[in-house]
Amino acid sequence: MGDINLTKLDTRAPKDLDKTAIKAKTEKLVAELGELQNLLFAESKHAILVVIQGMDGSGKDGVIRNVMSSMNPQGVTVKSYKAPTAEELSHDFLWRIHHYAPPKGMIQVFNRSHYEDILITRVHKWCDDETARKRMNAINDFEKLLLDHNQTHILKFYLHISPEEQHERLSERMKDPAKMWKYNENDFEEAKLWDIYMQMYNDCFNNCNKPEWTIVPADQN
């Protein structure tokens, strides 16, 4: 993919895409995923780890709900990573991650992930650059370990939205009763650090890109 710079990548879908056609194609793909899941489980030789990253309001929950809805819930697990607990902080940063690595035949989805430990931690200077480099190396080794020793195929997605779209979505959470449960006043404070987050994401993508990241324009659902 070469050097990744989010500021040069569009957050909106190409203008020539037909939304109706895309939705129809997506429905077929989602149905196909359900069939492929059956084969994955029956064979039990491989596992799938789906990593979804994105700024607050980028649509991570919606993607998981819409894409995974056709699958057998007995074969899919979703783990949403929040701030680490005191117990988790007393271990190495990957300790809480490795526990949720998928067994063969299963699909594991990470809503946020081990990458938070080289993103938000650097934005707030809880982690210096030297430590971040060591963590990047550890992440690369960890992901290679999952593939080499458990045949875990890792799919990494970043939902790419603009700061303007993020502000609109965060504001909507205060007005829409169906979305109020997502509201967190701290999200607006984090949004002020947008440029620093973009720098840290760029660094993350360019140093931890095997397997490669897929950057998804996400301003339009």
Residue 189 has pLDDT above 60, yes or no: yes
10-36 tens-digit pLDDT:
999 998 989 899 989 988 998 899 999
pLDDT at 2: 56
Q: What is the pLDDT of residue 210?
A: 94
Domains of the chain, with CATH numbers? Answer: 16-217 (3.40.50.300)
**Paired tokens of 186:** 């701290």
Q: How far is CA 66 from the centre of its chain?
A: 15
Asked if omega into 102 is within 30° of 0 (cis), the reply is no
Reading the block at residue 60, the tokens are 């991570």
DSSP string covering 129-155, please?
HHHHHHHHHHHHHHHHHHHHHH-EEEE
Summarize pLDDT for 92-151 with one digit per residue, the tens. Answer: 999 999 999 999 999 999 999 999 999 999 999 999 999 999 999 999 999 999 999 999
Q: From 31, 49, 57, 150, select the one nearest 109 (Cα to Cα).
A: 49
pLDDT of residue 93: 98
Higher pLDDT, 180 or 46: 46
Residue 31 tokens, joined: 């149905």
Whole-number mean pLDDT of the chain? 94
